[in-house]
Amino acid sequence: MGYRLRVDRASCQSSGRCIAAAPERLELDDDRLARLRAGAPELPLAEALALARGCPALAIEVLGDDGEPVDF
């Protein structure tokens, strides 16, 4: 089972930690806010949770197969 990420752009503080940790999955847009790269693959749970926990603004959510947020 893979997990997806969702970025709350209103909460993003543009720290870039997520981009440094997973440049193949996330990027900064023209407004310097994090967004998912087009076609980014799903993640194993441990990796998805590490990215979400590493966000200083807590702007990254982990979503399960059902599209619902995973509590962490």
CATH class of 4-63: alpha beta
Q: What is the pLDDT of residue 2?
A: 86
Structural domain spans, the chain = 4-63
SS (H, E, C) the chain: CCEEEEECCCCCCCCCHHHHHCCCCEEECCCCCEEECCCCCCECHHHHHHHHHHCCCCCEEEECCCCCECCC
Residue 63 CA to residue 40 CA, distance in Å, equals 14
Whether pTM > 0.75 for this model: the answer is: yes
Tell me the pLDDT tens digit for each residue of 2-47: 899 999 999 999 999 999 999 999 999 999 999 999 998 889 999 9
In the block, tokens 């590493």 appear at 54
